[in-house]
Amino acid sequence: MTFSRGAGIEDFKVSGLAIECQPLAPTGDAKSRTVDVAIDAAPVAADGSVMFTQTDATYEPSLSGSFAADGTFAGGLFLSGESEGFVCGGEFAFTAKPG
């Protein structure tokens, strides 16, 4: 995971996330997919909190959390959406520093 901090979170990128997928059809098997997520910019509130959803991206990544005084961001990334006949999603908690 990488990101930088300017006026907001910028160039947030994470690769290799495993998400679970269920078929939309009444038959079929569940499967896992590995996805990459990129969010160009997410605003940071004056209190250091973040709540942002990139609605125009596959699985609509939602980033939420807050920055501590030392610059560490503790939060979660949530993915949910339909693709290729499946509904997929995942939830990932993390702590990271920009850099």
- Domain map of the chain by residue range? 2-96
Residue 60 has pLDDT above 90, yes or no: yes
Residue 99 has pLDDT above 90, yes or no: no
Predicted confidence at residue 49, as pLDDT, reads 97
Over residues 3-30, the mean pLDDT reads: 95
Distance between CA 54 and CA 71 in Å, rounded? 23
> What is the radius of gyration, based on Cα positions, of the chain?
15
Predicted confidence at residue 40, as pLDDT, reads 95
Residue 27 has pLDDT above 90, yes or no: no
Predicted confidence at residue 51, as pLDDT, reads 98
Residue 86 has pLDDT above 90, yes or no: yes
Whole-number mean pLDDT of the chain? 95
pTM for this model (two decimals): 0.90
Residue 17 has pLDDT above 90, yes or no: yes
What kind and span of H or E run contains 64?
strand 62-67
